[in-house]
Amino acid sequence: MSNIIDAIPLPPLYYHAIETTYWRMDRNNRWIKVNDASAKSFIAEHSYCKNPTTPGTNSEVEKCIMDIQARQNVAYVGRLAGHNAGIYKMGENHILVTDSPKFITPKAGQWPTLEALFRGMFVDGTLDQRPYFYGWLKSGMESFRQHRWKASQLLAMAGPIGSGKSLTQNLLTALFGGRSSKPYQFMMGQTSFNSHMFGAEHLMLEDEAESVDIRSRRHFASNIKTILMSVCGRNHPPICGLKSPTL
């Protein structure tokens, strides 16, 4: 192997073996997928030579490609709830998280509109459920911002049409980083695919038609417990154990 590959760090380029693709950051700090030719051009920009010094041998770029495949390969590429963009080691695998949640910067001040909304939703006569709602929000935000995962609680809202349930769900999505997913079909056993759930901090159920089949309802109940209490799960298609906190 060329001495240059031993002497300098490998370029910030990662190989996804399952897709046989390469990933690098663009000038806006976004992770993009590139093909083999673009990967080699990117490597050449990091002082590696494209042409072999001896005819019939590999060039520095080609040797670097092989080293990246061996040392900077990842088992998963995509969003992962609760994680900022970057490289993580989970179990025996490295994964590449491509996007970060976008949290709202908190600011002290008055909030009459939202305060009125939550008063109308969670106050019924002398019964005020807002402390429980705010406590649930605080627990979730602490987990996400401190990257300390713990068992969660399910927030259930029941009320007439137009009472603000959907609006509150959308507000929760914004508070939890701007990403939501609907897990109903997976939780009911209607599909085995759940990869969309791993990229969203907010798993949202909303106006889905519930089943009257007792087996489906038991399956749904079991999945509620699994999602709330587990700190890791299985992404389908199964590639590795991914820690993905969701609320």
Chain segment 65-74, per-residue pLDDT in tens: 999 999 999 9
CB 10 within 8 A of CB 64: yes
Q: Where are the domains of the chain?
A: 9-97, 112-242
Give the angle 131-132-136 at the CA atoms, nearest 5°: 115
Residue 12: what pLDDT? 95
pTM equals 0.75
Tens digit of pLDDT for each residue in 74-128? 999 999 988 999 999 988 899 999 999 999 998 999 999 999 999 999 999 899 9
The Cβ-side half-sphere exposure at 119, using a 13 Å CA radius, reads: 6
CB 63 within 8 A of CB 2: yes
Write out the two tokens for 71: 């040392």
* Helices and strands, counts by H and E, the chain: 8, 13
Tens digit of pLDDT for each residue in 135-181? 999 998 888 888 887 777 888 888 888 888 889 999 999 999 999 98
Listed in sequence order, the residues at least 6 apart from 62 whose beta carbon sits closer than 8 Å to its beta carbon are: 40, 52
Q: What is the mean pLDDT of the chain?
A: 84
